[in-house]
Amino acid sequence: MENLRHDERVAVARLHALLELLPTALDRQLATAGLTSFEFTLLQALHEADARRLRLSALASRTNATLPRLSRVVTALERKGFVERVACEADGRATNAVLTAAGERAYEGGQPLHDRAVRDMILDGLGDEGVARLAELSFLILTRLDPDRKLTITAGAPDCPADPAPATA
């Protein structure tokens, strides 16, 4: 196998830098709301879920997290009063995370900060075509990283017009 070309090394180095810098930059913007970017993502997933609750395994999938990481963050959000763990009524072996009223307020307070930060740091200047290209390229990489489509972002039918249709066997 041949070594990476210069342009390939540059592309991967830029992607790596993006993955390193973006979470910290978003965390700084959400600090005034008392949230990290991952906590915000978790609260957003619960906010969008039916009855504001999800099984921990489904929440891990929706937030692209491992169960151990998710469990640690849910524990931290429980301490803040934003989330409660409750037994799953449909399956006694499973546990649900439920968004509390305080968690809903924290999500609503963090949303404008998050949205402004994402626009300022990522979306502004890309234009509609650039946003579509970013969505498409990200999806193509994610489908290689998640070939079994375990994560919600790559599972099922594409949610974004920029995403290619899943290959059929």
Residue 103 included in any domain: yes
Domain that includes residue 78, residue range: 6-145
Residue 113 included in any domain: yes
Nearest C-alpha neighbor of 43 from the set 63, 25, 57, 26: 63
Is a pLDDT exceeding 80 seen at residue 109?
Answer: yes
Nearest C-alpha neighbor of 98 from the set 66, 53, 64, 32: 53
Confidence tier at 83 by pLDDT (50, 70, 90)? very high
d(CA 2, CA 14): 21
Is a pLDDT exceeding 80 seen at residue 153?
Answer: no
Confidence tier at 75 by pLDDT (50, 70, 90)? very high
d(CA 124, CA 118): 8
d(CA 136, CA 9): 20
Identify the CATH number of the domain in which residue 42 sits.
1.10.10.10
Residue 92 included in any domain: yes
Residue 161 included in any domain: no
Calculate mean pLDDT across residues 101-110: 96
Residue 159 included in any domain: no
Residue 105 included in any domain: yes
- Those residues whose C-beta lies under 8 Å from the C-beta of residue 122, and which sit 6 or more positions away, are 22, 134
d(CA 166, CA 153): 12
* Number of structural domains found in the chain: 1
pTM for the model: 0.82
Confidence tier at 161 by pLDDT (50, 70, 90)? very low
Residue 72 included in any domain: yes
